[in-house]
Amino acid sequence: MTNRRQFLQPAAAGLGWLLLGGRAHAGGQLEEPLADSVRTALTSAVANSAPPVPVFHDTDARLKYLRWLGAMSGRLRRRQPDWTERKEFLQTVWYETRRAGLDTALVLGLIQVESAFRKFAVSPVGARGYMQGMPFWTRVIGDGDAGRLFHMQTNLRFGCVILRHYIDRERGDLFMALGRYNGSRGRPPYPNAVFGAARTWAFEDVPLPPAPSSDPLRPADRPQPS
């Protein structure tokens, strides 16, 4: 199975999502034994409570982030009308996806399919929050308090760490990893729905053109000293 990083099959994904009616339907991860080394690594990743504050090495990187934030905010406005809440959510998603080495558009697509961006969504099997974390994960790699899955950063941290874990287990195969996340490994409806939704959140950066120079003579046009 190939790595579906380009989010193929949008038509099938969109149909599946319509048939599901937008309900929180996933979060069906199966509890499975973890090697001690894996458990320790996941626990450490979740316990690191660094605030989701973007750090940029140069101005260009910061401007690219701000362009992304503006574009995503416009797309999310209907679902999250409050600007402060929307900004905090997007900033946290951006931070946590980079922290876990995930594609941000893919994770936003997953959140759309999982919870329709509802913070307090609960699935029929008890999965909670934006990324529909299963309560058993809080016992396996957290402090056991399943109520914390309704906390935004905790939910996004758990979801991103768990998805990264599944991608690693599937050796980079997103199709199979998403199946694990949903508890439907090997079946196409859920991965296709996520790939299709992710296309909505893809971002093609188009920098603004530079401001015109006040000097009517460009450097190449200026007389050169003899």
> Which comes out higher in pLDDT, residue 37 or 69?
69
Nearest CA to 114 among 175, 23, 196, 210? 23
Least confident of 21-25, 130-134, 183-187: 21-25
- What is the per-residue pLDDT for 180? 92
Residue ranges per structural domain of the chain: 10-46+92-204
Nearest CA to 1 among 164, 163, 162, 185? 185
Task: List the structure tokens of 61.
Answer: 């990187």
- What is the per-residue pLDDT for 211? 59
Q: How confident is the model at residue 24 (pLDDT cuts 50, 70, 90)?
A: very low
At 199-223, the pLDDT tens digits run 999 999 877 666 565 555 555 555 5
Residue for token digits 């053109």? 209
Q: How confident is the model at residue 85 (pLDDT cuts 50, 70, 90)?
A: very high
What values do phi and psi take at 34, rounded to 5? -115, 140
SS (H, E, C) 137-199: HHHHHCCCCHHHHHCHHHHHHHHHHHHHHHHHHCCCCHHHHHHHHHCCCCCCHHHHHHHHHHH
Architecture of domain 10-46+92-204: Orthogonal Bundle (1.10)
- What is the per-residue pLDDT for 169? 92
Q: What is the mean pLDDT of residues 47-75?
A: 90
At 153-203, the pLDDT tens digits run 989 998 999 999 999 999 999 999 999 999 889 899 999 999 999 999 999
DSSP bridge partners of 122 = 128
